Chain A
Amino acid sequence: MSIDINTVRKVAKLARIRTTDADAEVLSGELNNILSMIEQLNEVKTDGVEPMTSVIEMNLPARADEVTDGDMPDKILSCAPEKAAGFFVVPKVVE
């Protein structure tokens, strides 16, 4: 598998990371290096081995359905660049 410069541009755009053409060129090389290293893992025989999802054998922890959080609009809005009447205010996004 190889990552060309167009793939780098596409991924950067999806991730909202501004990337110049020069950066993309460098990143393409770096990402290919990383991928080829990871590709060595393909040599390991994994037939019949379940994917490991946690280092400890445990189930997904769950909580009871109780209201234990929220009711702190000032704190929630404290980092907002702009706010009004209890709302976050952002540049207009209309479809």
Chain B
Amino acid sequence: MAHALLKGETGDWEMVIGLEVHAQILTKSKLFSGASAAFGAAPNTQVSPIDAGFPGMLPVINELCIEKAVRTGLGLNAKINLYSVFERKNYFYADLPQGYQISQYQHPIVGEGEIEIDLPDGTTKIIGIERLHVEQDAGKSLHDQHPSKSYVDLNRSGNPLMEIVSKPHMNSAEEAAAYVTKLRAIVRYLDTCDGNMDEGSMRCDVNVSVRKPGDALGTRCEIKNVNSVRFVQQAIEYEARRQIEVIEGGGTIKQETRLFDTKNGTTRAMRSKEDAHDYRYFPDPDLLPLKLEQSFVDDIRKTLPELPDAKKKRFIALGLSNYDASVLTAEKDRAAFYEKVANNNDAKLAANWVTTELAGALNKAGKELHDSPVSAEQLGGLLKLISDNTISGKIAKDVFADMFESGKDAAAIVAEKGLKQVTDTGAIEKIVDEVLAENPDKIAEYKSGKDKLFGFFVGQVLKKSGGKANPAIVNDLLKKKL
């Protein structure tokens, strides 16, 4: 895709975007304590003395977090560092009781990698990954409960996060959105993060700068905690425009942290403290360096599932369009559903039914795929009836609507309602003769060159048969008789 350039008063501008995505590692317990990491519990009920920063407590790492971080690194085609170090990032905030966050700085567990993103125009682009490191989440502050107080819940304190840092390889809001979407799909396929942005399991910090094409990088601003793909796009579009206006108005961009206001789609500078970024990292004396064996990494590699890109390529090889393959592989559950439907059925027919008929019916009913009234096996059964000519494609749509209502199998509905397609040539011929006998004037018109009337005859025969006559046989017979 060509670079999307923004028009300014002084010419075209190019955006340069990098993202830091915080993804909560899917575990039962926290990174360094045995308290539950589940979402939505009553305040401060999932807090151990470690998470509350009580004195004298020792952090002990959750082995599943290490495994899932490596697994994610492999899914990002990245280098796994067999030696990594946990460091303390020091700052004071009410929801950080330790006074520091345990994170990784100079020696992250995962180094450089890359992923492929799918753009709306059907093209793809490679986006570099800078690093992935493991760190603790902070607690949560509520500022709207009291006029002069903030309320602090430490349930989230100590939850395991992966911070995935991209290279500044994106040049439009669409690319950034496609990157977040792909990253989300990958961690969900890998089962290392649930990707639930509503619950904060994935949060994005967006770095944006602008420059004239070919110029050196401009000064960037970081927009913190943008929590949906749509907001990522909005924040980038607003921020790039703002920077261009500042520069074209003769000003300069100050490197700063900004907040995105979801209500009006704008960004504003955070009240910045001059020393806010002096974190004084140093290796956490409570934790030894993390040393991994190559065999540990190799064993995890063996358990990797087929990832979205590989699955998409395989689907395309089965004959699906790039678009259908992208839609079907965007969600792991949808891909699995499709594969069940397509089992022993025509791949394209199955794709059409999953992406149009089923998706449409679910959408209309306000349902998600996982509570579809028609199971993958049932839909596969319906398609089988189309393929072996038991019913026509047109009748199949009615049968499907009935299945969606009643939850019954296709074969049962076809039998109950006598919808089996008529393939008996004699029976169809009888109807054809009737139709022809009823329409002598139309026959005359047809014979005088009005070819389009052929469709009229087919329609009449199908209608008379209650939609059950096999269209191919109807066509053959009409051609012969006309």
Contacts and interface: CB of A to CB of B under 8 A. Distances in A.
Contacts of B207: none
Interface string B39-61: 00011111111111000000011
A90 B152 contact: yes
Nearest to B153: A87
A1 B246 CA distance: 41
A interface, over-half SS: loop
Contact of B275 (A13, A58, A60, A90): A13
B458 interface: no
A65 B28 contact: yes
B150 A70 contact: no
Contacts, number: 136
A88 B138 CA distance: 14
A83 B326 CA distance: 50
Given A70-B35, A76-B47, A62 B63 contact: yes
A11 to B, nearest CB: 9
A34 interface: no
A72 to B, nearest CB: 8
B121 to A, nearest CB: 38
Given A63-B63, A95-B270, A70 B34 contact: yes
A73 B63 contact: no
B146 interface: yes
A22 to B, nearest CB: 23
Interface string B151-162: 111100000000
A92 B148 CA distance: 5
B201 interface: no
Contact of B150 (A16, A86, A91): A91
Interface residues of A, number: 38
A84 B93 CA distance: 19
B288 A89 contact: no
A30 B131 CA distance: 40
B124 interface: no
B218 interface: no
Contacts of B291: 59-60
Given A62-B61, A71-B45, A91-B149, A14 B34 contact: no
B63 A65 contact: yes
A87 B151 contact: yes
A73 B47 contact: yes
Chain A to chain B: the 4 pairs with minimum beta-carbon distance, closest first: A70-B35, A68-B34, A69-B34, A65-B64
8 contacts: A59-B288, A61-B60, A66-B29, A67-B29, A68-B29, A76-B154, A90-B149, A91-B149
